[in-house]
Structure 1
Amino acid sequence: MAQQIELTNTVKDSQLGQRLDQAVAELFADFSRSRIKEWLLAGKIQVDGEVITKPRVKVMGGEVIIVQAELEDEERWEAQDIPLDIVYEDEDLLVINKPIGFVVHPGAGTPDGTVLNALLFHYPDIAEVPRAGIVHRLDKDTTGLMVVAKTVPAQTRLVRALQKRKITREYEAIAIGKMTAGGKVDQPIGRHSTKRTLMAVAPMGKPAVTHYRVAEHFREHTRIRLRLESGRTHQIRVHMSYLQHPLLGDTAYGGRARIPKEASEEVTEMIRGFQRQALHAVMLRFDHPVTGETMEFHAPVPDDMVAITEALREDARDNHSEDDY
């Protein structure tokens, strides 16, 4: 049975001049742009009490947007018996540790076999929650912590907390090159102009801020910790590539293998054989959406990243010179 929803929000002054579909998509970020556009064209969205069906209409700021629509997509998703690594669970939410190669949400090329399909199997009632309770995503080959809401109120509050930057997410990564110090990347991110499956730093993109600090130096790589203020698609990968320090294994964003001089055959093979971005969501902290209690979770760095870190550390120790640092 389709779920009836009614959403209300006010266009921000900072959105002056935006297209209506873009403005509404930002105001109701829990729903995809394509779904927002469908609702617009179907007359499901009111602007100051008037139904508007033209996505290209410009907003001025201050308009009251009301969405009255139905959620039906969830019914088409299949429940599948796929194991989940559950770190924490209560009646309102769960925190999972996502392994490598696990897509979060069905989409083009991945119709099933996702975290969402697993959630529907283990928690059938979660079908009543938009996106089966998924609050934020991790890329297929990024490992680590995700929070999932089990009820509509919990999801609404967690999504709002995420938008207000009240959910802290910290990542461990290995970047290519010698990074001397930490810092902040404050660069907007949008769809890549020619490679439509990738993102890029783009002047007209959405605001994105990534903080990073150096945790350990190797000869041609650096282990770093990162903290997100925003949550754009591929954000860390894009921002590190922008700094010309793409992540180890991230060939999509320029992370081609870099072999230290005179590295052992074993280290060389490990670097060349690392086939995914070296990125792990290691810490998650938020206030519980119902009790208000501050909760913090940690996920151990996965074996593949531990192994490559130890190999790079040993290589640096065995080949140390003053020129390396």
Structure 2
Amino acid sequence: MAQQIQLTQTVKESQLGQRLDQAVAELFSDFSRSRLKDWLLEGKITVDGEVVTKPRTKVLGGEVLTVLAELEDEERWEAQDIPLNIVYEDDDIIVINKPRDFVVHPGAGTPDGTVLNALLFHYPAIAEVPRAGIVHRLDKDTTGLMVVAKTVPAQTYLVRELQKRNITREYEAIAIGSMTAGGKVDKPIGRHSTKRTLMAVTPTGRHAVTHYRVAEHFREHTRIRLRLETGRTHQIRVHMSYIQHPLLGDSAYGGRARIPKGASEELTAMIRGFDRQALHAAMLRFDHPITGELLEFHAPVPNDMVVMAEALREDAKQNPLEEY
């Protein structure tokens, strides 16, 4: 079980003018900067009893900082012999192509059977790296590319590059509705006010930017390419739902299926039966954390999305007079 911790430190006078995240990192140095930043952004660190979630907030000295959080018992994470689709590997990093129905990190409701458990089996030494080297996550049913660090220096570098937005991540998706042009969604994302397992666009959320462009028009759907500028939980799914073009098959954010007028029974069944969000992490580009070499990886779109796009394409051909 997770261990509840409560720790208190007083900001030193010598820290006058420091950013809050820097002061927290110095005062609670037993924990990694990434973990402390997560706690800060999640509102689990208070300043003189007040929740402050902005890392750039300046401290003056004398403030009382309190951490009230849950510390996962990392010893309970088991190494499990689960196959991984390795796209690239060297002494410092691994790039995997994650299938659907595969959770990245253990959590509530999924204590094992995750990418992390598989990494511990295939690379026992990765247990020494925070979060077993996981730098970024994909949702359970989102497929595609992830980079994992095998060493602490590699992870530190990649996390910093993510924060600087120097890692390029492109996705392929099928959205509901006819989109006329590409664009950008720049809306903050935070926890949903009533559905606590979901996220939503909210004024108090964290800065989030998604770029998208139209790749192919269908009658009632659009194939799109997306590029993340930030990496919030469920970001693409939330942003596309916000602009009223949720992803096909997204039961959490998608609403009802959209069936083209006069669609065949086969296509109607395919649309209604598509049982995951049609989202795939297709391209990943970054500088190697040790050598500095520019690396770029591509993962082919999985078969379920390919077949779905082909069916929508055929439907559009058979209805050429439709506006879409």
1:194 and 1:39 mapped to 2: Cα distance? 19
Alignment match, 1:125: 125
3-state SS of 2:252 partner: helix
1:57 and 1:162 mapped to 2: Cα distance? 23
CA positional deviation for 1:315: 0.5
Alignment match, 2:11: none
Asked if 2 retains the 8 angstrom alpha-carbon contact of 1:37 and 1:55, the reply is no
How many pairs were matched up? 295
Structure 2, unaligned stretches of length 5 or more?
1-14
Can you list the C-alpha shifts for 1:149-207, whole angstroms capped at 9, x where unaligned?
00001000000000000000000000000000000000000000000000000001000
Aligned identity (percent) is: 74
Change over 3 Å in CA distance of 1:57–1:284 after alignment to 2: closer
Which stretch of structure 1 is more off in the superposition, 138-147 or 254-263? Answer: 254-263
Change over 3 Å in CA distance of 1:39–1:245 after alignment to 2: closer
Alignment match, 2:89: 89
Change over 3 Å in CA distance of 1:40–1:253 after alignment to 2: closer
Asked if 2 retains the 8 angstrom alpha-carbon contact of 1:208 and 1:231, the reply is yes
Asked if 2 retains the 8 angstrom alpha-carbon contact of 1:285 and 1:294, the reply is yes
Structure 1, unaligned stretches of length 5 or more?
1-7, 42-51
Alignment match, 1:298: 298
Can you list the C-alpha shifts for 1:124-154, whole angstroms capped at 9, x where unaligned?
0000000000000000000000000000010
Can you list the C-alpha shifts for 1:230-259, whole angstroms capped at 9, x where unaligned?
000000000000000000000211242111
Change over 3 Å in CA distance of 1:236–1:128 after alignment to 2: same
Change over 3 Å in CA distance of 1:208–1:29 after alignment to 2: farther
**TM-score normalised over the length of structure 1:** 0.83
Alignment match, 2:19: 11
Which stretch of structure 1 is more off in the superposition, 55-64 or 144-153? Answer: 55-64
Asked if 1 retains the 8 angstrom alpha-carbon contact of 2:43 and 2:52, the reply is no
Output aligned runs, 1:176-325, within 5 Å.
176-321=176-321, 323-325=322-324
The alignment status of 1:62 with 2:70, answered yes or no, reads no
Alignment match, 2:100: 100
3-state SS of 2:75 partner: helix
1:173 and 1:150 mapped to 2: Cα distance? 30
2:131 and 2:264 mapped to 1: Cα distance? 47
Change over 3 Å in CA distance of 1:32–1:271 after alignment to 2: farther
Change over 3 Å in CA distance of 1:205–1:31 after alignment to 2: same
**TM-score normalised over the length of structure 2:** 0.83
2:36 and 2:143 mapped to 1: Cα distance? 24
Q: Look up the equivalent residue of 2:323 and give its one-letter code.
A: D
1:86 and 1:31 mapped to 2: Cα distance? 30
Alignment match, 1:146: 146
Alignment match, 2:6: none
Asked if 1 retains the 8 angstrom alpha-carbon contact of 2:45 and 2:51, the reply is no
1:261 and 1:229 mapped to 2: Cα distance? 36
1:39 and 1:260 mapped to 2: Cα distance? 47
1:279 and 1:229 mapped to 2: Cα distance? 17
3-state SS of 1:190 partner: strand
Output aligned runs, 1:11-90, within 5 Å.
11=19, 28-30=33-35, 33=38, 54=49, 56=51, 61-63=57-59, 73-90=73-90
CA positional deviation for 1:31: 5.2
Can you list the C-alpha shifts for 1:22-59, whole angstroms capped at 9, x where unaligned?
xx9xx944557459999969xxxxxxxxxx78564798
2:92 and 2:276 mapped to 1: Cα distance? 33
Asked if 2 retains the 8 angstrom alpha-carbon contact of 1:249 and 1:256, the reply is no
Q: Look up the equivalent residue of 1:62 and give its one-letter code.
A: K
Asked if 2 retains the 8 angstrom alpha-carbon contact of 1:178 and 1:220, the reply is yes
Asked if 2 retains the 8 angstrom alpha-carbon contact of 1:248 and 1:255, the reply is no
1:201 and 1:31 mapped to 2: Cα distance? 24
